[in-house]
Amino acid sequence: MTQLPDFTLPATSGTIFQLAAARGKNLVIYFYPKDNTPGCTLESSQFRDLYPEFQQAGCEVVGISRDSLKSHENFKAKFTLPFALLSDTEETACNLFGVIKQKMMYGKQVRGIERSTFVLDQDGALRREWRGLKADGHAAEVLQFVKTLG
């Protein structure tokens, strides 16, 4: 199992997220391309709807994109997201997890975040990853896996 290097990012609600401080609980980190876009809104809303079940399974959830904290605060408020969104404008976590890819968008090559999710156990070890996934139904699949961690 892979131990990830520690990182610190600014988070919504005026907090700072530090990976090392998240130990003791399982952790879902989902990377998404952009606030307020259809797929990202769908994915975030599904994590929101299942959040009580993630909590019951002893798991925290955080979302990461390259959007600003201001954008994150608006997105979080608009969709009443109960978990932190982390702003990775410098691509610190994006580079650690290798989620920046060349993608086609409206016929143009653009560099952006590939929708990806990572599950870390209570000791901070990477237990599962999904890359290039489809937003719809993904949160439920992650929850099923988290429930197997115990």
- Based on the residue annotation, tell me whether 59 is a catalytic residue of this protein: no
**Model pLDDT for residues 131-142, shown as the tens digit of each residue:** 999 999 999 999
Residue 73 structure tokens:
């605060």
pLDDT score, position 99: 96
Q: What is the pTM assigned to this prediction?
A: 0.94
Q: Would you say 133 and 117 are in contact if contact means Cβ atoms under 8 Å apart?
A: yes
> Could you count the other beta carbons within 10 Å of the beta carbon of residue 98?
11
Instruction: Give the tens place of pLDDT for each residue, 15-62.
Output: 999 999 999 999 999 999 999 999 999 999 999 999 999 999 999 999
Q: Which residues pair with 28 in a beta bridge?
A: 61, 119
Alpha-carbon distance 64 to 83, whole Å? Answer: 11
| Residue in 9, 11, 27, 40 annotated catalytic | 40
Residue percentage of the chain with pLDDT more than 90? 89
Supply the DSSP symbol for 67: S
What CATH number does the domain containing 99 carry? Answer: 3.40.30.10
pLDDT digits (tens, 9 = 90+) for 103-116: 877 788 889 999 99
Domain count, the chain: 1
